[in-house]
A and B are shown apart, each in its own frame.
Chain A
Amino acid sequence: MLRLGVAITLAFIYVPLLVVAIYAFNGGNSIEWPLPSLTTHWFSVAIQDHGAQQALLTSLKVGAAATAIALVLGTLASIAVGRHRFFGRETVSFVIILPIALPGIVTGIALSDTFTQVWGISLSLFTVIIGHATFCIVVVYNNVVARLRRVSGSLEEASADLGAHTWQTFRFVTLPSMQTALVAGALLAFALSFDEIIVTLFTIGAGQETLSIWIYNNLFRTTQPAIVNVVAVLAVLISILPVYLANRLTREEGGAGGRGAGGGTEARAETAAMP
């Protein structure tokens, strides 16, 4: 029974992805199934597509900038919540979760309202980065808070007792203990930004495209439908590396830290911390 349930869910997850991959080799011009013929033609078309290249570059820029901001702000907030008791601590986590808990359309229209109507700045990549960073903070925060919960604060107290000042304790005790959580958080934040489209549509300037938006716009250009599938397949293939890395990093930490089973649990808790 249980195994049947597992099989159904896995099939549900993977059949559509498989369909995406098969359609990348579509030799015909329609979306009829079964495909009339197969070709690898679209791969060379996609790789040489100038629009797709530009869009990829834009996505990488936006993702990197948003992730950098989220790393700094998310880490600061997680240290405050994970290492201090203070009034309003729960409200802080509520405020951090809010941008991801509210639908993207709300975040999108609120930011777009504010940028155009209040600040009077026109929409651009800069406004996209601000939007993305806002909902990426929570990913870093969740990962680092989960880690801080597992690593006892007494290490930091010991460091202070032994004469280290605030920066030294941070640099030599706190930071190393949360290093892998930071990497995992950064990867997830980047992935979230890379895939995002709703907030992006509301905050991006005219004529600019992230890869997500490029794909979205190309769905309606029916002359070369398979090119979208090719880009998707390439994106999944490239993403295998960071997924593998993130998984490995959080798991290795458990073994290397000598915390045995406890470390393993932590790794999984962090993988799950992706909203």
Chain B
Amino acid sequence: MEAADALAPAAKRSAGRRLADLFHGRPRLQVGTLLAGPLGWLVIGYIGSLAVLLIAAFWSVDSLSGEVNRALTSANFDTLTSDSVYREVAQRTILIAAAVTLTDALLAFPIAFFMAKIAKPRTRGLLVVAVLMPLWSFYVVKVYAWQTMLSSGGIVNWALDPLGLSGPGYGTTAVWLVESYLWLPYMILPIYAGLERIPDSLLSASEDLGAGPGTTFRRVILPIAFPAVVAGSIFTFSLTLGDFIAPSLVSPDTQFIGNVVYDNITTNLPLASAFATVPIAVMVVYLMIARRLGAFEHL
């Protein structure tokens, strides 16, 4: 009350106060005002840009002048469907994204479970920081580290040599490793938060009813944590799907969707836009499934 009196002396009804009265008891007006800025930005700025991208996919480039011709044509999509190279690139990228997602889920689950259910508060705090930390070091540098490590005279070959083995070198395997590395924290954090929501009593109950650790994991933990895994997978999958820097550094001879889009942006913007609709379509389907599985509450 003190604060209220200090701010708005009854004698002086400021414009702000009158505006406040206007909002009072009008929830629709409140929601509308609150959302005008953010939705205006995102719908006009972002969704609008996506719409432009979709339209630009139907433009073409004049082969002589290199100018963008805005007459609508499906030529880009004809090229993308008839030339098998594009299909292979798309398939390879989607497969890698799926492999990375699976790898990250497998790597993330044990540590997330340990953090959520076993570690003492102190250890848990340290582990959270340990998992967050890599997000603060440069993405480019992490890719560069792997480029160094996987080079022929690099640390991976040096470590494997005494065992009579050698590392994967540059190529698709390297892309799988690097992408799994880059996006792992994005998988650990949602799973950790999801597991933390499971009450300990539920696990004890399962044990009391005679379930072994394996059964408890399969029938209790996994079903509850699954939406969180799906939430994490949105990031691992999407981030791999669009990456072109890691592939260009550790797999210079193989192309991924991102490389093709980036390489065409200056010479053939319409074709680049057309190929960029592939990850959009894939992600829209992915997001719709993820939403059904309840992943959005775990984002």
Contacts and interface: CB of A to CB of B under 8 A. Distances in A.
Interface stretch (B78-86, B219-227, B242-250): B242-250
Given A74-B38, A80-B31, A274-B135, A110 B145 contact: no
Contacts of A242: 136
A167 B155 contact: no
Contacts of A264: 121
A19 B149 contact: yes
B170 interface: no
A134 B34 contact: no
Interface in A251-275: 251, 264-265, 268-269, 271-275
A198 B243 contact: yes
Contact of B258 (A23, A105, A229, A275): A105
What does DSSP make chain A's interface, helix, strand, loop or mixed?
helix
B8 interface: yes
B17 interface: yes
Contact of B242 (A17, A103, A164, A273): A103
Interface in B8-52: 8, 16-17, 19-21, 23-24, 27-28, 30-31, 34-35, 37-39, 41-43, 45-50, 52
B139 A105 contact: no
Interface string B127-140: 01111111111111
A137 B42 contact: yes
A274 B261 CA distance: 27
A216 to B, nearest CB: 5
A218 B35 CA distance: 42
Interface residues of A, number: 104
B153 A31 contact: yes
Contacts of B252: none
- Most A CB within 10 A of own CB, among B144, B151, B273: B144
B41 A137 contact: yes
A239 interface: yes
A275 B231 CA distance: 9
B118 interface: yes
A99 B42 contact: yes
Nearest to A270: B193
A201 B244 CA distance: 11
Contact of A9 (B50, B52, B108): B108
A19 B108 CA distance: 22
A34 B155 CA distance: 7
A177 to B, nearest CB: 15
Interface of A: 2-3, 5-6, 8-10, 12-14, 16-17, 19-20, 23, 30-34, 72-74, 76-77, 79-80, 84, 86, 90, 92-107, 109-114, 117-118, 130, 133-134, 137, 141-142, 160, 162-168, 171-172, 191, 195-198, 201-202, 211-212, 215-216, 219, 228-229, 231-232, 235-236, 239-240, 242-244, 247, 251, 264-265, 268-269, 271-275
22 contacts: A5-B109, A5-B114, A9-B108, A9-B184, A16-B145, A19-B149, A20-B144, A77-B39, A94-B296, A101-B238, A105-B244, A105-B261, A165-B21, A165-B24, A168-B20, A195-B135, A235-B138, A247-B129, A265-B197, A268-B196, A269-B196, A275-B186
